[in-house]
Structure 1
């Protein structure tokens, strides 16, 4: 340095270390090791990364590489747009609220979304007065009566959430026939397409279809063969009560049951309304029982049939 010259400090090299700057290590016989531990032996270069979020929302990443001769740091700053930060905050708050509601107030939520009042049980219509309903003009019962359009069938079962309620599913996809020989009921077949039964909630319908495996077993069927006296129908002006034993087949299970039926004459023929009591576990259905909802095991099959010849 020349006398009188102001010394200039040496500028520190802040560039990222290159491969030639860092010591290398080889294993035995000059083979480069494959594991991380062997590639970073004691005293060799080591890298650490720290990430923090600033008050302004930026993400700050600091990478420090340490070698035997010193350490070098590089800084990377990434700005997060305000709309992204607001989205993160909104999603986080929503998740927290959901957890709190499920843990502490789940029953309140179910109470707010519970079903509308269940439909009344299926009932006989009020037939229009006509000569065919005149007791002095007996109705000829003998013959095969077909289940006509407008007939309905389905189920009713109790459900408890914050309070007891009835769940009702119905369909008009019903077919079949009733045979009367003279004045005796001698045969009945009623077929219901179970996949078309619906309630007021799609989630219930999905559970029902899975429980009954409606893809594999699309039909529920009630079959009666025997003899039941129905002579009173030919001159009745009021509904006639009839008990009809038979076999109810749902899914792959057949049960011996009794249908309690009310039958009346109409201007077009006959109308029958009835129900069959049944237990869900008898059908091999696992009844839901939980914190928020419990379904009764005992339920009923309901039907209303318009019969014409």
Structure 2
């Protein structure tokens, strides 16, 4: 009798361990693929302009010269790949707290600087946001990320309203107290009351003294992207 009881307990124990293993494997898969929302698409000029823009008209013809400022409808944030309990996911965090200015002469942006409030960046996970603001970015010590042009951006020509042009930008990106020179492609689009600029800056975390998180079943890739979609009004 005792032997049969021990045998039953052993089988139940094995079955329990097997069930737990299946749940640990299948649980994240089911959550990520069937419950969790898909990450938002990359910021794009296909996104409609903000409806509450307060900028004034840029004027007639192709005149875009002068001083501009980052206005309402602007966004910036990060996109990075994670491994969550063995499942590949894409994490996206964004904020609308972006400021900056741009000076245009002819068809070239000759100077410009932009600042992102990192403490206001939010994703779809409060836990991820807490890690981002704390052990990852230390926003109490480094609350902002900045970019400043170091070379003019030549757009070639001023597009008509609704049209787009592409160019290459070079400047200095400061994140987590570290500054590096970066170059990246961007697209610009003329709007009825200004223009919008969209792009993505590849970032290797180690270049900015950031240790990619790897804890509690979550591992983050060593590289990611800073995405931005900036709407400009007359300064």
User: Same fold by TM (over 0.5)?
Assistant: yes
> Is the 8 Å Cα contact of residues 161 and 191 (structure 2) preserved in structure 1?
no
> Is the 8 Å Cα contact of residues 175 and 191 (structure 1) preserved in structure 2?
yes
Is 1:280–2:201 an aligned residue pair? no
Distance 1:191 1:172 in 2: 11
Query: How far is the alpha carbon of 1:242 from its aligned partner?
Result: 1.2
| Residue range with higher mean Cα deviation, 139-148 or 234-243 | 234-243
Is 1:109–2:109 an aligned residue pair? no
Distance 1:148 1:281 in 2: 32
Q: 1:189 aligns with which of 106, 113, 124?
A: 113
| 231 and 160 in structure 1: CA distance in 2 versus 1, 3 angstrom threshold | same
Please list the CA deviations of residues 251-294 of structure 1 after superposition, one character each: whole Å capped at 9, or x if unmatched: 11111111321101001110111110011222222223468332
Query: How far is the alpha carbon of 1:141 from its aligned partner?
Result: 1.4
User: Which residue number in structure 1 is paired with residue 40 of structure 2?
Assistant: 119
User: Which residue number in structure 2 is paired with residue 138 of structure 1?
Assistant: 61
Structure with the larger RCO, 1 or 2 (CA within 8 Å, 6+ apart): 2
Which stretches in structure 1 are left out of the alignment for 5+ residues?
1-96
User: Is the strand fraction higher in 1 or 2?
Assistant: 2
Query: How far is the alpha carbon of 1:221 from its aligned partner?
Result: 0.3
| 159 and 230 in structure 1: CA distance in 2 versus 1, 3 angstrom threshold | same
> Is the 8 Å Cα contact of residues 108 and 153 (structure 2) preserved in structure 1?
yes
Distance 1:207 1:126 in 2: 31
Query: How far is the alpha carbon of 1:181 from its aligned partner?
Result: 1.8
The structure that has the greater radius of gyration is 1
Query: How far is the alpha carbon of 1:198 from its aligned partner?
Result: 0.6
User: Which residue number in structure 2 is paired with residue 247 of structure 1?
Assistant: 172
Q: CA RMSD in A?
A: 2.5
Q: 2:133 aligns with which of 201, 206, 209?
A: 209
> Is the 8 Å Cα contact of residues 141 and 234 (structure 1) preserved in structure 2?
no
- In structure 2, the residue corresponding to 1:226 is in which secondary structure? coil
User: Which residue number in structure 1 is paired with residue 146 of structure 2?
Assistant: 221
Distance 2:151 2:203 in 1: 22
Distance 1:280 1:108 in 2: 31
Is 1:156–2:79 an aligned residue pair? yes
1:22-37 to 2 correspondences below 5 Å: none
Distance 2:212 2:150 in 1: 32
**Length-normalised TM-score, structure 1:** 0.60
- In structure 2, the residue corresponding to 1:107 is in which secondary structure? helix
User: Which residue number in structure 2 is paired with residue 305 of structure 1?
Assistant: 230
Please list the CA deviations of residues 186-245 of structure 1 after superposition, one character each: whole Å capped at 9, or x if unmatched: 111110000000100011111111211100111100111332222412447531111100
Query: How far is the alpha carbon of 1:104 from its aligned partner?
Result: 6.7
Distance 1:290 1:107 in 2: 17
| 167 and 208 in structure 1: CA distance in 2 versus 1, 3 angstrom threshold | same
Distance 2:196 2:61 in 1: 16
